[in-house]
Amino acid sequence: MATKTAEELLALGLRERWYPLCPSGTVKRGELTRIERAGEQLLLWRDSAGAVHVQEDRCPHRGARLSLGVHMGDRVACNYHGVQVDGDGVVVSVPGSPGCALEGRRALRTFPAEEHAGAVFAWFGLDEAAEPTPLQLPDPIAGGEWDNFLCYVEWDAPYGYSLDNLLDPMHGAFLHRNSHTMFGGKREAVFQIRAIDDGFVFEKTDQRGVNFDWVQLTDAGAQWVTLDIPYPETAGPGGAFTIVAALCAINETQHAAFFWRCRKVSGWERDSWRVLYRNRLEARHWAVLEQDREMAEAMPLDAWDRENLYQHDIALVRMRRLLRSEARRQAAALAAPAAAPAPAAPVPAPTR
């Protein structure tokens, strides 16, 4: 992997992480899909068995875009000189010069990829040859008693702005005060940070189950944000409405966001919830999300340089400190490629 500074890693996303790239339906059989994620130009395609592959969108011959090439079932052919590469990044044929040294070489960077909960995930490692950390899904999107709908958006704002927004429960009582779920509760609160394995919970000390009252950040091979929003009885069975969110930078000023909207329902209650969501609730959720988008996209790119934080923002301070520390560690590892990268730093227990 090319050397990156700590600031570049903060802007484009830390490495040694799984990131969701796009909804699974974006990558269709027999087609080549080009996207940009974490500052990388990527090619996504499915082989004859339907397995998804994520590779650098760059022919190992002369650097032409493989996404402009030909899908050949279990390989991709560059349209420039016909060089063929398989799903492991191995050059399997050079039609213009059969038997040349390029044939048989693993010459194309290939990212470990998996599909879960309706999305394609890829591992962005510091060491391209190292095995990735297993991808661990939060319970609400892992199946079982939980059901979910994936909401996917791309916004014209740094991904850090959405991460800030997710770790800010207090904005629910203001920005979303006219929504069907976040109209109740007080407009003032005192927060605390509570340590958990691989992250922390940021929560109101004097209100629970009334509005957007707590949020959990987990960082263990992938970064997840989980929160609950209380639902009125008219919203059907399943208790509180849980959101699991994950973000992926596209570049320094754009990002992709994945919001899984979840409820713990099974049997006939699951069927009832799914019908109700599609016919009544989904449009309301999009309206709330549109409020977040408008706020994030309107913020200036130097917002962090001129902000004045207070007690409600202690989760932002904690999160940014952790990310900066890890970004400096990874930048140092990339600057010294001869040395094996140090293991990812665990998330330390926060202080109150």
Distance, in Å, from the CA atom of 228 to the CA atom of 57, rounded to the nearest integer, reads: 38
If one counts the domains in the chain, the total is 2
Note whether 248 and 40 are within 8 A (CB).
no
In a domain, 296, yes or no: yes
Q: Are residues 105 and 162 in the same domain?
A: no
Q: pLDDT of 77-126, one tens digit each?
A: 999 999 999 999 999 999 999 999 999 999 999 999 999 999 999 999 99
CATH of the domain at 75: 2.102.10.10
Give the rounded distance of the alpha carbon of 158 from its chain centre.
Answer: 13
Q: Are residues 320 and 295 in the same domain?
A: yes
Q: Are residues 183 and 299 in the same domain?
A: yes
**Integer Rg of the chain from CA:** 22
Q: Which of 269, 287, 166 is nearest to 227 (CA)?
A: 166
Give 108: exposed, middle or buried? Use CB within 10 Å, 0-12, 13-18, 19+. Answer: buried
- Enter the DSSP assignment of 302: T
Q: Encoding tokens for residue 281?
A: 């609730």
339: pLDDT strictly greater than 80: no
Least confident of 150-159, 170-179, 198-207, 217-226: 170-179
Q: Return the half-sphere exposure (C-beta side, CA atoms, 13 A cut-off) of residue 181.
A: 21
User: Which string of DSSP letters, residue by residue, matches 149-182?
Assistant: EEEEEEESS-HHHHHHHHT-GGGGGTTTTTSSSS
Q: Are residues 108 and 162 in the same domain?
A: no
In a domain, 196, yes or no: yes
Handedness of CA 58, 60, 66, 72 (dihedral sign): negative
Of the pLDDT bands very low, low, confident and very high (cuts 50, 70, 90), residue 181 is confident
Beta strands, E only, the chain: 17-23, 33-37, 40-46, 52-56, 70-71, 75-77, 84-86, 91-93, 110-111, 113-116, 119-124, 146-155, 191-196, 199-204, 214-219, 223-229, 241-251, 254-264
Q: Are residues 70 and 160 in the same domain?
A: no
In a domain, 109, yes or no: yes
In a domain, 157, yes or no: yes
Q: Are residues 119 and 144 in the same domain?
A: no
pLDDT at residue number 107: 97
In a domain, 268, yes or no: yes
Q: Are residues 23 and 167 in the same domain?
A: no
In a domain, 252, yes or no: yes
Q: Return the half-sphere exposure (C-beta side, CA atoms, 13 A cut-off) of residue 73.
A: 1
CATH of the domain at 221: 3.90.380.10
Q: Quick check: helix, strand or coil at residue 77?
A: strand
Distance, in Å, from the CA atom of 169 to the CA atom of 191, rounded to the nearest integer, reads: 10
Q: Are residues 118 and 143 in the same domain?
A: no
List CB contacts of 159: < 8 A, sequence separation 6 or more: 13, 247, 248, 249, 255, 257
Q: Are residues 116 and 149 in the same domain?
A: no
pTM of the model: 0.92
In a domain, 4, yes or no: no
pLDDT at residue number 351: 46
Q: Are residues 207 and 250 in the same domain?
A: yes
Q: How many residues does the chain have?
A: 352
Q: Are residues 56 and 179 in the same domain?
A: no
Question: Which residues form the domain of 104?
Answer: 13-124
Q: Cα dihedral angle (175, 177, 179, 182), rounded to 10 degrees?
A: 110
pLDDT at residue number 293: 97
The more confidently predicted of residues 168 and 350 is 168
What is the arithmetic mean of pLDDT over 279-302? 94
Q: Are residues 219 and 311 in the same domain?
A: yes
In a domain, 237, yes or no: yes
Distance, in Å, from the CA atom of 43 to the CA atom of 65, rounded to the nearest integer, reads: 9
What is the arithmetic mean of pLDDT over 245-272? 95
9: pLDDT strictly greater than 90: yes
Residue at a domain's end among 69, 89, 124: 124
Of the pLDDT bands very low, low, confident and very high (cuts 50, 70, 90), residue 39 is very high
| Cβ-defined contacts of 241-247 (< 8 Å, 24+) | 241/181, 242/140, 242/146, 244/138, 244/140, 244/141, 244/148, 245/166, 246/19, 246/20, 246/222, 247/159, 247/162, 247/163, 247/223
Most confident of 189-193, 209-213, 346-350: 189-193
